């Protein structure tokens, strides 16, 4: 069967979502996005506004992405309250002409952990205003259930603190989210450091992964972007094919019991 990845009624070409921050140059960024094959690219609205609406490369990049059918996903990174995040989301809709928004509301300066109360409040407001909300959350089951009930069809729990590269620190919690929220589109967002981490997320049954630092800070960002794109696609195919169940003891690939033996 065809493996369709549909988000808020739109089909996406890839299950890899990438960010645009921290690259060594605009050229490397553009080449890395192309190499990744990503279907969605995120951009920090605060960074855009701080540079007068154009941070040096986004104007041309947005046109290039649109021509390739890649969706732009503005985010509210840097916000500390629901009021602030909602205001920024409204500005993003006007600036980029999209109702898609990655909702981020930071509650702790050390871990950059999302504030669950402010995040939920902002999500409820934005959903009521017609936004397609992609909330960046922790792997807390109750919070994710509340966000889904509020109308967030996509949930984006972290694998580890953002930019840490530690991978999936709590696979049990992520597996529980997949089991308890079968109708939600689940995207592991933040903390991934290598393609192996992305494969682990896909093998848990997650629909996609979003990452930035793992590519932007790699020795070869373009090569790493290509690797992530290949691994995400391969791991998804493997998950759908059905991974064999682990066994407690060795199981011979070629059975020998009951077979004739040659004795020397």
User: Any known ligand binding at 14?
Assistant: no
Query: Is 59 flagged in the annotation as binding?
Result: no
Residue 123: C-alpha distances to residues 3, 66, 78, 155 (Å): 29, 26, 16, 11
Which H or E element spans position 141?
helix 141-149
Q: Comparing C-alpha atoms, which of 6, 29, 126, 10 is closest to residue 76?
A: 126
The verdict on whether residue 213 carries a ligand-binding annotation is: yes
**DSSP code for 220:** S
Q: Is-catalytic flag, 102?
A: yes
Crossing angle for the helix pair 141-149 and 171-180, to the nearest 10 degrees: 30
Task: Output the six-digit token pair for 88.
Answer: 């920024």
- What sign does the CA torsion over 7, 1, 37, 170 have? positive
Ligand-binding site membership of 122 (annotated)? no
Residues in the chain: 264
Catalytic residue among 71, 93, 102, 236: 102
Q: Residue 255 phi/psi, 5° resolution?
A: -60, 145
Question: Binding site annotation covers 163?
Answer: yes
Tell me the catalytic residues. 102
Binding residues for 1-deoxy-D-xylulose 5-phosphate: 163, 190-191, 212-213
């Amino acid at each position: 069967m065809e493996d369709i990845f549909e988000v808020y009624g739109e089909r996406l070409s890839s299950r890899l979502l990438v960010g645009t921050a921290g690259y060594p140059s605009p050229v490397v960024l553009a080449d890395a996005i192309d190499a990744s094959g990503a279907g969605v690219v995120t951009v920090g609205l605060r960074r855009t506004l701080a540079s007068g609406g154009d941070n040096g490369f986004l104007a041309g990049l947005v046109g290039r992405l649109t021509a390739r059918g890649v969706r732009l996903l503005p985010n509210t990174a840097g916000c500390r309250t629901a009021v602030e995040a909602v205001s920024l989301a409204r500005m993003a809709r006007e600036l980029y002409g999209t109702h898609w928004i990655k909702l981020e509301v930071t509650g702790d300066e050390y871990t950059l952990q999302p504030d669950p109360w402010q995040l939920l409040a902002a999500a409820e407001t934005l959903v009521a205003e017609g936004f397609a909300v992609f909330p960046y959350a922790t792997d807390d089951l109750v919070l994710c259930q509340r966000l889904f009930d509020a109308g967030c069809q996509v949930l984006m729990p972290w694998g580890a603190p953002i930019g840490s590269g530690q991978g999936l620190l709590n696979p049990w919690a992520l597996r529980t989210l997949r089991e308890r929220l079968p109708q939600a589109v689940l995207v592991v967002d933040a903390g991934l450091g290598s393609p192996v981490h992305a494969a682990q997320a896909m093998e848990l049954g997650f629909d996609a992964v979003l990452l930035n630092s793992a590519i932007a800070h790699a020795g070869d960002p373009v090569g790493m972007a290509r690797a992530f794109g290949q691994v995400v696609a391969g791991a998804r195919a493997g998950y759908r094919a059905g991974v064999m169940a682990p066994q407690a003891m060795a199981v011979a690939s070629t059975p020998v019991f009951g077979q004739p033996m040659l004795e020397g």
